[in-house]
Amino acid sequence: MPGRSWYRILALLLITIEVLIATKFSHFQFVRWSLGDVLATILVYCAALSVRDLPRRRLALAVFLFACLLEAAQGLRLAQVLGLPRGSVLRIALGDSFSWSDIACYLAGTILAFSVDSVAIRRTDTKTRSVGH
């Protein structure tokens, strides 16, 4: 099974990519709004596993539900209600508007994270078993 340091490296790489998307690729709408949302759920998944070993299916479900909760907060205009200034990190993280396509991107990212992680776990377990015999 991949170790926590592996997930830390992935999380750091993903946060770097997210920052680059937000700052350098902001004029490419598809990249910022679609790919950024897919990567955001993968980032949360990896960040959680970098801290603690968790049941993968439950984690994937929790990540997706968390993303949906944030999207619902956008639909309720929580950032505006709280008076968060435009451009602030919290307002950017929370977002400004609800979109069903964002939910689809969160689902895609969650499925991708879980699937790739499951394959990595199987490969690691297979290698460990073959070395032990």
Q: What is the pLDDT of residue 128?
A: 58
Q: What is the pLDDT of residues 111-127, one digit of tens each?
A: 999 999 999 988 877 76
- The mean pLDDT value for 16-44 works out to 86
Tokens found for residue 99: 């979109």
- The mean pLDDT value for 105-116 works out to 98
Q: Which class for 35: exposed (0-12), middle (13-18), buried (19 or more C-beta within 10 A)?
A: middle
Q: What is the pLDDT of residues 36-46, one digit of tens each?
A: 899 999 999 99
Q: What is the pLDDT of residue 24?
A: 83
Residue 21 clears pLDDT 90, i.e. is over it: no
Neighbouring residues of 22: CB distance < 8 A, sequence distance ≥ 6: 32, 36, 92
- Among 27-36, 81-90, 105-114, name the most confident range: 105-114
Q: What is the pLDDT of residue 60?
A: 98
Confidence class for position 73, pLDDT limits 50, 70, 90: very high
